[in-house]
């Protein structure tokens, strides 16, 4: 069996991974707070832990790995977003608008992450489905002397847990000095954090021994992880920004509630994302969501390839140069796979075993940077069996790469676009205009493929309308997209497509 070695934040060293039970390898990853679209930084842990999930399934078997990633669907940010919609004139009660927003955001999240080639976890619990478990855990912490009620709130007593700060390597004094802590007269220690807080009549709330209220953020993950994975499980993951205070607080309350267990044995954290060497922020004008990129015609496979080009424990810099390089590589891969004699129905998924050197790269603390270097080597050598099996292992479907990236390429020797758009009807136009049509046809095909999955054809309809307004006839079949210039075609109007 392949030996997996992972860097454990808790011990600050790379360790051999040995699951508690090889028949039931268990992993929990902190999921999104569902109040808006996932930005590019949110996508990094999803892709990182998707690769780890695939590796664990490969080594231990698909039926022997349980992956849990939660949805935080009760939160002050969600409430604020719904309140803004209500003040803008949206119909319905605030609670109804909150429910509507969370459902909408979860649909967006699934569609966007699906487009990046990530597998959905085995279980995706919503915080609101586990309120009873949270209340029970809070009651237990109070009974054991680790939490206290004050003015409608329940707070965890940091002083009651001697190992507080070990994950992040900080002392309590350092944390107080460097953290933004809520100053409240009912706190015994400034670092004590909220387990339960009161809710007004219009906000979501649940009955509890401490009055109508809602849970704090940290208790949500502890309760759901315990209920779905037990008091001790194998791996807990998330972005490095969650190490303190979220993961530190999870450990404290979970270990105090279940002192006989150890909570998570391995802690994995991915580093943060930058854009062109700068922190992504709206004020700098370099903030964008995954959907922004997809709508601009950047395929999900390109986003995934760029993300995996940097080791997960190093800061990742998204640049236009990396995007272009990734797209060129994927086009070359699609060209090789699409013209190979192995492109036959009987050469299905999993036909070839993953190369040992490739598997060892992934097993060495998810060295995806080395893994992509090996993929480029197999591409250069024309070694399709190794290329196919390696791509599959890290979440790239060969057939989908062929269909998507050959459609981006102008096949002038055959006088046609592989997306289905014939060049013969565009012969009277300039090369630049032909390439512009090729790009639009490829994006329309991509948007249509996504729409078939999400059942949301808004983007497809908008593109079709814009093309028709420009005098282009749009013909779509199961085999591709055909764009034909009409008698009133106006190239200038393509700028808006």
- Whether 422 is in a domain gets the answer no
Q: What is the CATH number of the domain that holds 62?
A: 3.40.50.620
Same domain as 440, residue 356: no
- Whether 325 is in a domain gets the answer yes
Residues of the chain with pLDDT under 70: 171-183, 340-351, 407-425, 427-428, 453, 477-480
Same domain as 78, residue 41: yes
Same domain as 241, residue 302: no
Q: Which residues contact 312 (CB under 8 A, 6 or more apart)?
A: 44, 48, 268, 270, 271, 366, 368
- Whether 480 is in a domain gets the answer yes
Same domain as 334, residue 356: yes
- Whether 358 is in a domain gets the answer yes
**Tally of structural domains, the chain:** 3
User: Which pLDDT does position 177 carry in this prediction?
Assistant: 54
Per the annotation, binding residues for Zn(2+) are 30, 221, 246, 250
Same domain as 58, residue 80: yes
- Whether 424 is in a domain gets the answer no
Same domain as 373, residue 405: yes
Same domain as 465, residue 362: no
**pTM value?**
0.80
User: Which pLDDT does position 438 carry in this prediction?
Assistant: 76
Per the annotation, binding residues are 30, 221, 246, 250, 282
User: Which pLDDT does position 485 carry in this prediction?
Assistant: 81
Which range of residues forms the domain containing residue 469?
431-494
Same domain as 438, residue 371: no
Residue 392: asked if its preceding bond is cis (omega within 30°), the reply is: no
**CA 232 to chain centroid:** 25
314 vs 20, 47, 125, 388, CA distance in Å? 28, 14, 29, 27
Predicted confidence (pLDDT) per residue in 299-340, tens digit = 999 999 999 999 999 999 999 999 999 999 999 999 888 876
Per the annotation, binding residues for ATP are 282
User: Which pLDDT does position 478 carry in this prediction?
Assistant: 63
Predicted confidence (pLDDT) per residue in 170-215, tens digit = 766 666 654 555 668 889 999 999 999 999 888 889 999 999 999 9
331 vs 295, 300, 358, CA distance in Å? 19, 14, 21
User: Which pLDDT does position 349 carry in this prediction?
Assistant: 61
Tell which of 384, 417, 450 closes a domain. 417
User: Which 8-state DSSP code applies to residue 265?
Assistant: E
Predicted confidence (pLDDT) per residue in 63-83, tens digit = 999 999 999 999 888 988 888
Same domain as 141, residue 31: yes
The three-class DSSP label of residue 273 is strand
Over the Cα atoms of the chain, what is R_g? Answer: 25
Same domain as 76, residue 108: yes
User: Which pLDDT does position 427 carry in this prediction?
Assistant: 65
Tell which of 392, 417, 442 closes a domain. 417
User: Which pLDDT does position 444 carry in this prediction?
Assistant: 83
Classify residue 414 as exposed, middle or buried by CB count within 10 Å of its CB (0-12, 13-18, 19+): exposed
Strand 13-16 relative to strand 5-8: parallel, antiparallel, unpaired?
Answer: antiparallel
**CA 381 to chain centroid:** 32
User: Which pLDDT does position 346 carry in this prediction?
Assistant: 40
Same domain as 246, residue 139: yes
Same domain as 169, residue 71: yes
- Whether 423 is in a domain gets the answer no
Tell which of 251, 270, 289 closes a domain. 270
User: Which pLDDT does position 357 carry in this prediction?
Assistant: 97
Predicted confidence (pLDDT) per residue in 225-260, tens digit = 999 999 999 999 999 999 999 999 999 999 999 999
């Amino acid at each position: 069996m392949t030996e997996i070695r992972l860097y454990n934040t808790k011990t600050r060293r790379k360790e051999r991974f040995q699951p508690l039970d090889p028949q039931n390898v268990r992993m929990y990853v902190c999921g999104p707070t569902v109040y808006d679209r996932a930005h590019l930084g949110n996508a990094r842990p999803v892709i990182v832990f998707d690769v780890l999930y695939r590796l664990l399934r490969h080594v231990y078997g698909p039926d022997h790995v349980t992956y849990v990633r939660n949805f935080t669907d009760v939160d002050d940010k969600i409430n604020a977003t719904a309140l803004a919609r209500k003040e803008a004139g949206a119909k319905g009660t605030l609670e109804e608008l909150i429910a509507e927003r969370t459902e909408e955001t979860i649909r967006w999240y699934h569609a966007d992450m699906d487009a990046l080639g990530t597998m959905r976890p085995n279980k995706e619990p919503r915080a609101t489905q586990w309120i009873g478990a949270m209340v029970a855990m809070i009651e237990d912490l109070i009974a054991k002397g680790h939490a206290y009620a004050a003015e409608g709130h329940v707070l965890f007593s940091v002083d009651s847990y001697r190992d507080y700060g070990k994950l992040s390597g900080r002392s309590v004094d350092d944390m107080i000095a460097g953290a933004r802590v809520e100053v409240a007269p009912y706190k015994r220690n400034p670092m004590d954090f909220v387990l339960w807080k009161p809710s007004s009549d219009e906000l979501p709330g649940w009955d509890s021994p401490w009055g109508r209220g809602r849970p704090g953020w940290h208790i949500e993950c502890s309760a759901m992880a315990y209920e779905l994975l037990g008091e001790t499980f194998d791996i807990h993951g998330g972005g490095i920004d969650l190490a303190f205070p979220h993961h530190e607080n999870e450990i404290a309350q979970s270990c105090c509630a279940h002192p006989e267990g150890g909570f998570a044995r391995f802690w994995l954290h991915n580093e943060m994302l930058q854009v062109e060497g700068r922190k992504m922020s709206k004020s700098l004008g370099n903030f964008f969501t995954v959907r922004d990129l997809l709508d601009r015609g950047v395929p999900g496979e390109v986003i995934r390839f760029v993300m995996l080009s940097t080791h997960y424990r190093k800061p990742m810099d998204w640049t236009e140069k990396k995007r272009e390089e990734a797209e060129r590589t994927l086009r070359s891969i699609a060209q090789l796979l699409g013209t190979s004699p192995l492109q036959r129905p009987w050469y299905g998924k999993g036909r070839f075993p993953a190369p040992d050197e490739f598997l060892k790269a992934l097993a060495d603390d998810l060295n995806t940077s080395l893994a992509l270097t090996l993929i480029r080597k197999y591409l250069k050598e024309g070694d399709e069996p190794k290329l196919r099996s390696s791509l599959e292992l890290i979440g790239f479907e060969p057939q989908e790469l062929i269909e998507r990236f050959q459609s981006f390429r102008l096949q002038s020797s055959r006088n046609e676009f592989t997306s289905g758009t014939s060049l013969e009807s565009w012969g009277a136009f300039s090369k630049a205009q032909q390439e512009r049509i090729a790009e639009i046809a490829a994006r329309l095909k991509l948007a249509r493929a996504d729409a078939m999955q999400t059942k949301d054809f808004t983007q497809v309809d908008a593109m079709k309308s814009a093309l028709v307004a420009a005098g282009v006839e749009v013909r779509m079949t199961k085999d591709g997209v055909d764009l034909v210039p009409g008698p009133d075609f106006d190239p200038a109007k393509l700028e808006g497509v």
